[in-house]
Amino acid sequence: MKNQVQPLQFVAPADFQARSKAAVNDPKLRQSFRGAMDFLQNKRSVQFPDQSELEQLRDLGEAIRQHALARLPDLLVQLELKLTQAGVQVHWAQNAEEANQLILQIARQQQATRVIKGKSMVSEEIEMNHALEQHGIHCLESDMGEYIVQMADEKPSHIVMPAIHKTKQDIGTLFADNIPDTPYSEDVDTLIQTGRRALRQAFIDADIGLSGVNFAAADTGTLWLVENEGNGRLTTTVPDTHIALMGIEKVVEKLEHIVPLSSLLTRSATGQAITTYFNLISGPRRAGEKDGPRQMHLILLDNGRSQAYADQQLRSTLQCIRCGACMNHCPVYARIGGHAYGTTYPGPIGKIISPHLLGLDSTADLATASSLCGACAEVCPVRIPIPELLIRLRTEANRHPQEQVAHPLKGQGAHFSQSEKMIWKFWSGAYATPKLYRSFRWMVTRFRHLTPTAQMGWTAHRTPLKPAPRSFSELLKDKGKTD
């Protein structure tokens, strides 16, 4: 087939260490994120005043997601059947390239040159905007945060609030430089209205509207979209063609199961009791209806999700409802921001899902960028055991590449080192018996002058270790002198 979309590699998670060092040394970025994270943490805590109710709701959310994942293949088939009966064309994409090719084919069938897009992290995951641009099809972001970062030629730094790293001064300058006849302003309301006016005509002019999917109910064939700005509703109703992009893990068994998940999502993500818009979509425009798309497509994307699904422990990664609470409470994310990760999904959720999407060979460093403090697991509304999964991914990254395992991960053994293996073997042997341990301790104390002067593992942002005392016997002598 001619003009096939080539694999896209804009992210560079392998450069994580360099990016994180640069972020830590950026005081403006650190101050911006620290303030934003504190604000979001406080808003979430206000929405869950009753700890007992919160824990019960989390139990329910976890049970719903685990129940759906246990029946995932059957639910996806049921969803496809229901949507097909309603006039929706359902497509399956194994990877990002296939998804982009499907979107391109639909656009060509409609002779489309303009696409308006509601917020969709899956479209970011497959680098859809760039893929379409290569073929002369312009895609405009209609979510205000996404619109801002697209204008700045950047990637989102947060899965819920894409432009959280931008100040009002940054946005004022962007709008003044890129939107005709727009004076510089730092007033937030003025900036929002400016963006909305610029986007309004784009909904009318677009040939295709593209959206993500928060949840899909298999029993009714309903796509559930959550948003705050109304751009999602315009995107899915004004253009003649609607394309919905959805990761295969977003399906649940029943429509009623989505209600508690939505309650958890909005309160965990932005600290809202309820979001502004819930859009329930079950097909294209029907006879007698005055709005809605005349043609509708759903693209179900795998892109590594089946790898996580195949492993019983790693399957819990797919419980995620993309609320971003783990990011808002993560001390690492709060210090380095989202761009340092170099992946579509940053923060704790990015550390556990990116290895399945991109492979451990390029994302192994992400799993080590955690203190394992457990804050992410404590606030996860569907109880994903993120610290346990991080330890598992670290193990897989250090496993021998040729070792036979039940469900090998792409890039297994990315951090494997034969010398490190020998060191740990020696270490475990030295601690195996009291005699070996005493011998090892005697040897280490005699050669301690060979240890490096720099305190490895301690950065300039932490308090250095205190110097070691002279010796235990000398301390006893000093104590005797003072008694």
In terms of residues, how long is the chain?
Answer: 483
What distances in angstroms separate CA 26 from CA 30, 146, 161, 330, one per listed residue?
A: 6, 23, 20, 18
CA distance 185 to 172: 5
CA distance 446 to 457: 23
Question: Which is it for the CA torsion 159, 165, 169, 174, positive or negative?
Answer: negative
**Structural contact between residues 284 and 228, judged by C-beta atoms closer than 8 angstroms:** no
Residue of 161, 162, 186, 163 lying closest to 173 (CA atoms):
186
How much is the pLDDT for 112?
Answer: 96
| Beta pairing class for 114-117 and 89-93 | unpaired
CA distance 430 to 435: 9
Helices (H), 270-385: 305-310, 325-328, 331-336, 347-358, 360-368, 375-379
How many C-beta neighbours within 10 Å does residue 322 have?
17
Residue of 184, 116, 112, 124 lying closest to 149 (CA atoms):
124
Q: In what order do the strands lie in the sheet with 251-252?
A: 251-252, 215-217, 222-227, 277-281
**Structural contact between residues 195 and 147, judged by C-beta atoms closer than 8 angstroms:** yes
CA angle 331, 336, 339 (to 5 degrees): 130
Those residues with Cβ within 8 angstroms of residue 146's Cβ, 6 or more apart along the chain or in another chain: 117, 119, 156, 162, 163
pLDDT in tens, 370-410: 999 999 999 999 999 999 999 999 999 999 888 989 889 99
| β-pair partners for 280 | 224
Those residues with Cβ within 8 angstroms of residue 362's Cβ, 6 or more apart along the chain or in another chain: 13, 14, 411, 414
The structure tokens listed for 284 are: 């294209």
DSSP state for residue 223 in the 8-state scheme: E
How much is the pLDDT for 471?
Answer: 58
CA distance 473 to 381: 54
**Structural contact between residues 300 and 246, judged by C-beta atoms closer than 8 angstroms:** yes
Those residues with Cβ within 8 angstroms of residue 151's Cβ, 6 or more apart along the chain or in another chain: 174, 175, 178
Distance of alpha carbon 274 from the chain centroid: 22
CA distance 470 to 483: 20
pLDDT tens string for the chain (483 positions)?
Answer: 334 433 334 456 778 888 999 999 998 888 888 889 999 999 999 999 999 999 999 999 999 999 999 999 999 999 999 999 999 999 999 999 999 999 999 999 999 999 999 999 999 999 999 999 999 999 999 999 999 999 999 999 999 999 999 999 999 999 999 999 999 999 999 999 999 999 999 999 999 999 999 999 999 999 999 999 999 999 999 999 999 999 999 999 999 999 999 999 999 999 999 999 999 999 999 999 988 999 999 999 999 999 999 999 999 999 999 999 999 999 999 999 999 999 999 999 999 999 999 999 999 999 999 999 999 999 999 999 999 999 999 999 999 888 989 889 999 998 888 888 888 888 888 888 898 889 888 888 888 777 766 655 545 555 555 555 555 566 566 656 555
For every residue of 414-429, DSSP letters joined together read TT--HHHHHHHHHHHH
pTM beyond cutoff 0.85 = yes
Type of residue numbered 420: E
How large is the greatest C-alpha to C-alpha distance in the chain, in angstroms? Answer: 99
Strand (E) or helix (H) holding 245: strand 241-247
Residue corresponding to tokens 């005697």: 442
**Structural contact between residues 132 and 138, judged by C-beta atoms closer than 8 angstroms:** yes
CA distance 357 to 118: 22
The CA dihedral of 205, 210, 211, 217, to the nearest 10 degrees, is 120
| Beta pairing class for 208-211 and 114-117 | parallel
CA distance 73 to 300: 12
How much is the pLDDT for 320?
Answer: 97
DSSP state for residue 136 in the 8-state scheme: T
Percentage helix, strand, coil for the chain under 3-state DSSP, each rounded to 5: 55, 10, 35
DSSP state for residue 4 in the 8-state scheme: P
| Beta pairing class for 222-227 and 277-281 | antiparallel
